[in-house]
Amino acid sequence: MKIKEIIVVEGKSDTIAIKRAIDADTIETNGSEISETTLERIKLAQERRGVIVFTDPDFPGERIRKIIRERVPGCKHAFLPKQEAIALNNKGVGIEHASDDSIRNALREARQDFVNEEFETISWQDLIDGGLIGGNHARERREKLGTYLKLGYSNGKQLHKRLKMFQISREEFRDALQHVLKEEES
């Protein structure tokens, strides 16, 4: 599998895992404090070849993703489910711990970040009504919904932003929520 876009990862271990799974170029942020030089490289990569942001499913990874989204709009984003990124010894979470298949699947499902204020978004009330915010099992439902929609795990506020950012339609949202609720019943 060859990927045209340049993949933004956090560090050398992630680059090694990516190159083990696919043929691709990477830019390493070297942690959550992204330098201006690195941001300029990401901007140039986005202009020339496109960028896929592929950070760890943890707080620092989300921080990096947010900074890039604000400074370099229009990138694609790939999400790795947390359970697929846990080290065998349970002492770490990261792309470097994922299987080659998990990495390939996450990159295959990368979603474009859109900035379209006219898009009809899922409302905060829709999330409450769906049992995704507040109440019992909200966290588990968000995790399953994020996995199903390939958006990764997020808290309620992040989920609301991601649904808008990736222009998830009401129909996609409704189908995904029904899938999650049916899975709960089984």
User: What is the residue extent of each domain of the chain?
Assistant: 6-112, 124-185
Give pLDDT tens digits for 103-115.
999 999 998 877 6
Least confident of 6-10, 70-74, 115-119, 136-140: 115-119
Give every strand in the sheet of 76-77, ordered side by side.
26-28, 6-9, 51-53, 76-77, 111-112
pLDDT, average across residues 121-137: 90
Residue 42 pLDDT > 80, yes or no?
Answer: yes
For residue 184, what pLDDT is reported? 86
Q: What is the structure's pLDDT at 119?
A: 61
**Sign of the Cα pseudo-torsion (4, 7, 13, 18, in order):** negative
Average pLDDT, whole number, for the chain?
Answer: 90
Say what the pTM is.
0.72
Residue 89 clears pLDDT 90, i.e. is over it: no
DSSP string over the chain: -B-SSEEEESSHHHHHHHHHHSB--EEE--SSS--HHHHHHHHHHHHHT-EEE---SSHHHHHHHHHHHHHSTT-EE----GGGSB-TTSS-BSGGGS-HHHHHHHHHT-EE----TTS-PPPHHHHHHTT-SSSTTHHHHHHHHHHHTT-----HHHHHHHHHHTT--HHHHHHHHHHHHHHHH-
Is residue 137 predicted with pLDDT exceeding 60? yes
Tell me the CATH number for domain 6-112: 3.40.50.140
Residue 91 reports pLDDT greater than 90? no
pLDDT given for residue 127 in this prediction: 93
Do 46 and 142 form a contact (C-beta atoms < 8 A)? no
